[in-house]
Chains A and B, each alone.
Chain A
Amino acid sequence: DIQMTQSPSSLSASVGDRVTITCRASQGINNHLAWYQQRPGKVPELLIYAASILQSGVPSRFSGSGSGTDFALSISGLQPEDVATYYCQTYHRAPRLSFGPGTKVDLK
C-alpha cells in the first residue's frame, strides 16, 4: 500500500495569508494526486487532480504542485470560507486509493 503523510496536521492563519500544506507519498506516484477540501460538517469536495489541475469552479487562489513523492497545496490569500480540513489522496494504483491524514486550517 502507498502511505500518504501530510504536514502540518493543523495550522492557524489570518485572512489574506498565503497557506501551504505539504503531502508526501511513501513511493513515487508521478502526478497521480488529488486534493480535497472538507468544510466542517460537509462532504469532501475535489479541489485539484493530477497534482496541479484545478477542478471546475474552484477559486484560482488554490494551486497545487509537485511530482514523484512530494506535493503541495497552496492557498494564496486565505478567505474565511477556506476554513476546512484538506486531504491529499493518491490514485497511482487506482482503483486502490490512499488518503492522507488531513490538515486542519482555521483562522487566527
Chain B
Amino acid sequence: QVQLQESGPGLVKSSETLSLNCNVSGGSISSSNNYWGWVRQPPGKGLEWLGSIFPSGNTYYNSSLESRITISVDTSKSQFSLKLTSVTAADTALYYCARGTGYYAYWGQGTLVTVSS
C-alpha cells in the first residue's frame, strides 16, 4: 500500500519561499506509470491542483502559479518536493501530496502552511 507523507515548516513569512517534501513509501517512486503531484486547500475552500512531476523529472504546473512554483523529484530518496516563492497570505493552505494515474488514488495526510506577515 503506497503511503505519502508531507513534511516542512508550518509557518512561512510573507515574501519568502515555501518548501515542502513528500516522502513515498510502500511503492516505487520511479514507476513510469505514475506521476506525483501537489494539491492545496485554503481554509474553508476547495481543492486546487498545483502541479505534477513524472519520475523522469518532467513537470507540469498550474498556469496561475507557473512563475512561482517548482516541483522536483529525488528518486534516490523516494521523495518529491514543492517550492513556492514570494508567498503571500493567499498561499496559506493545507498542502497535500498525491500519486496520480490520471486521478489521485493515494493522498498524504496534508500539512498546514500558514503565511505570516
Q: Which residues of A contact B105 (CB under 8 A)?
A: 46, 49, 55
Q: Is B102 part of the binding interface, using a Cβ–Cβ cutoff of 8 Å? A: yes
B35 contacts A95, CB within 8 Å?
A: yes
A79 at interface (Cβ–Cβ under 8 A)? Answer: no
Chain B 10-51 interface 0/1 with A at a Cβ cutoff of 8 Å (1 = within): 000000000000000000000000010101000000111100
Query: What distance in Å separates the Cβ of B6 from its nearest Cβ neighbour in chain A?
Result: 11
Given A44-B47, A99-B47, A91:B109 Cβ within 8 A? no
CA distance A43 to B96 in the complex (A): 9
Which of B35, B49, B102 counts the most A-chain CB atoms under 10 A from its CB?
Answer: B102
User: Does A101 count as interface, using CB distance less than 8 angstroms?
Assistant: yes
Known: A95-B54, A102-B47. A89 touches B100 (CB 8 A): no
The interface on chain A, measured as residues whose beta carbon lies within 8 A of the other chain's beta carbons, has a size of 24
User: Chain B 44-71 against A: per-residue CB contact (8 Å), 1 yes, 0 no?
Assistant: 0011110010100000100100000000
Residue of A nearest to B100 (CB): A95
Chain B interface size, under 10 / 10 to 19 / 20 to 34 / 35 or more: 20 to 34
A34 in contact (CB, < 8 A):
yes
Does A62 make an interface contact (CB < 8 A)? Answer: no
In the complex, residue of chain B having the shortest beta-carbon distance to the beta carbon of A87: B47
Judge whether A108 is part of the interface by a CB distance below 8 angstroms: no
Q: Does A98 contact B (CB under 8 A)?
A: yes
Are the CB atoms of A49 and B103 closer together than 8 Å? yes
Indicate which residue in B48, B100, B108, B109 contacts A99 across the interface (CB closer than 8 Å). Answer: B48
Taken residue by residue from 72 to 108, chain A's Cβ proximity to chain B (1 for < 8 Å, 0 otherwise) reads as 0000000000000101010100111111111000000
Contact A91 B47, beta carbon cutoff 8 Å: no
Judging by beta carbons under 8 Å apart, are A102 and B54 in contact? Answer: no
CA distance A102 to B48 in the complex (A): 11
Show 6 A/B contacts (Cβ-Cβ < 8 Å), sorted by A: A44-B47, A94-B102, A95-B35, A95-B54, A97-B104, A99-B47
Q: Using A89-B103, A96-B60 as known contacts, list a sample of 8 further A-B pairs with CB atoms less than 8 Å apart, ordered by residue number in A.
A: A34-B102, A36-B104, A44-B96, A46-B105, A95-B35, A97-B37, A97-B49, A99-B49
